[in-house]
Structure 1
Amino acid sequence: MILEAAAQVFQREGLGATTNRIAERAGVSIGSVYQYFPNKRAVLHALSEQHLQQVEADLVALLHDIARLPPRWNDVVRALVTGAIDAHEKHSGMHHLLYEHTPRTAEGVGELQRLFRQLVPGIAQQLRRCSVGGPDHELTAALLVHGIDAQLHRVVLAPGGDRTPAERADALIALWSALPAG
């Protein structure tokens, strides 16, 4: 209940959100918020952990869906990029806030690395299946997973810019669709 309210308040107010506003939105006392979270950054951290768990579940399901596609790399890339965008945009109004302002912890970084290690073999399998990506499919898959992650967060989903998010997504799809045969 508190995290749902926090997500709504952060989405509306950005970093200017306060624990008082979160408590008000949740319909609880400020003491109840502080019982679970010592400060606003701790709330952001909890939201970030929750977001990562949701994105992980969505991306693992996406890999299973992609495995059912015909072995055409362009289709795989389009499904991968649009699926990753969809997974991240469930809280699009606060996604950038979470990415830029959530405190990084060793545990959180470890969880993210674990997710990347989970995604790489599935992407490597798709590279082999589609006969693209050069001779080292695992290396190409690692580059793709980390590259798409950075490009989504820093360009495609970032606020502002002179291109629409759809135009940015199309550019990302075009970039990764151009892998050499392998």
Structure 2
Amino acid sequence: MASERRALQPRKQPRQARAEHTRQRILAAAAHVFAEYGHAAGTTNRIAEQARISIGSLYQYYPNKDAILVELMTRHLDAGMTALSRGDDDTAPSSLEDGIRRYVRRTIDNHQDDPHLLRVMLEQAPCSSELLEKVSRYQQTRTAHARELIEDHPEVRVADREVAARLLVSTVELVVHQLIAAPDPLAPTRLESELVTMLTRYLKGDAGERESRTPHSI
């Protein structure tokens, strides 16, 4: 177990600017290689060549390509958390739809940099205990944020707010992951619009739509 853990961790943390620059080059090169070749063909030799360093230099920082992919996934999760925390500085949403739109838009923005790399990370990144723990914390934080968004909102009609918050987070994450990284991805604006409409109607319980219907004559 300890050996497996070490195999998915960086070998050293850079303490000098030059070393940190080299690590950033490795990660940028790996993102390019994985996006172009996938996990199986995204070898450390290709990553080193793309980074313009020797394979020996690469191995000073990472024991294998899986450790590099885990770090890329970790950084993706960290970026998502940063985007979520930045949203806390926004002015209060004017309506439920506005709040949901902000949440959906931040999620989409965090997944647009490289859809091909995103697919590799989601489908093929090895799961270390640290990564699984980070994913769990990430989901808990996002669920708490969604719960806060809908908890006392007068437009929300669903009875179980905890379940609704979990469904909101899971739906946005899964749909965005799938459709941004799909071979024929939806345009971000279209994806945002459809997701916001679907989630807003669910949270409102379609109350407004039901009230607008006139009963059929018997």
What is the percentage of aligned positions where both structures have the same residue? 31
| Structure 2 counterpart of 1:14, one-letter code | G
From 62, 67, 76, give the equivalent of 2:87: 62
Which stretch shows the higher mean deviation, 20-29 or 162-171? Answer: 162-171
Partners in 2 of 1:97 and 1:136 — Cα distance? 35
TM-score (norm 2): 0.72
Change (3 A) 1:162 1:145: closer
Offset of residue 26 of structure 1: 1.6
Q: What is the match of residue 152 of structure 1?
A: 176
Segments of structure 1 that go 5 or more residues without pairing to the other structure are: none
1:128 aligned to 2:151?
yes
Partners in 2 of 1:162 and 1:6 — Cα distance? 23
Residue aligned with 1:172, SS:
helix
1:118 aligned to 2:141?
yes
| Structure 1 counterpart of 2:164, one-letter code | T
Residue aligned with 2:126, SS:
coil
| Structure 1 counterpart of 2:105, one-letter code | T
Offset of residue 98 of structure 1: 0.8
| Structure 1 counterpart of 2:84, one-letter code | L
Partners in 2 of 1:9 and 1:143 — Cα distance? 34
Q: Which has the larger radius of gyration?
A: 2
Aligned residue pair count: 179
1:4 aligned to 2:28?
yes
Residue aligned with 2:148, SS:
helix
Change (3 A) 1:49 1:163: closer
Q: What is the match of residue 36 of structure 1?
A: 61
Q: What is the match of residue 75 of structure 2?
A: 50
Segments of structure 2 that go 5 or more residues without pairing to the other structure are: 1-24, 208-218
1:171 aligned to 2:186?
no
| Structure 1 counterpart of 2:194, one-letter code | A
Offset of residue 74 of structure 1: 1.2
Residue aligned with 2:110, SS:
helix
Q: What is the match of residue 138 of structure 1?
A: 162
| Structure 1 counterpart of 2:111, one-letter code | H
Q: Going by fraction, where is helix more abundant, 1 or 2?
A: 1
Offset of residue 124 of structure 1: 1.5
Residue aligned with 2:196, SS:
helix
8 Å CA contact 2:108–2:188 kept in 1: the answer is no
Partners in 2 of 1:33 and 1:109 — Cα distance? 25
Change (3 A) 1:163 1:122: closer
Partners in 2 of 1:97 and 1:73 — Cα distance? 34
Partners in 2 of 1:94 and 1:43 — Cα distance? 13
8 Å CA contact 1:45–1:102 kept in 2: the answer is yes
Partners in 1 of 2:143 and 2:185 — Cα distance? 32
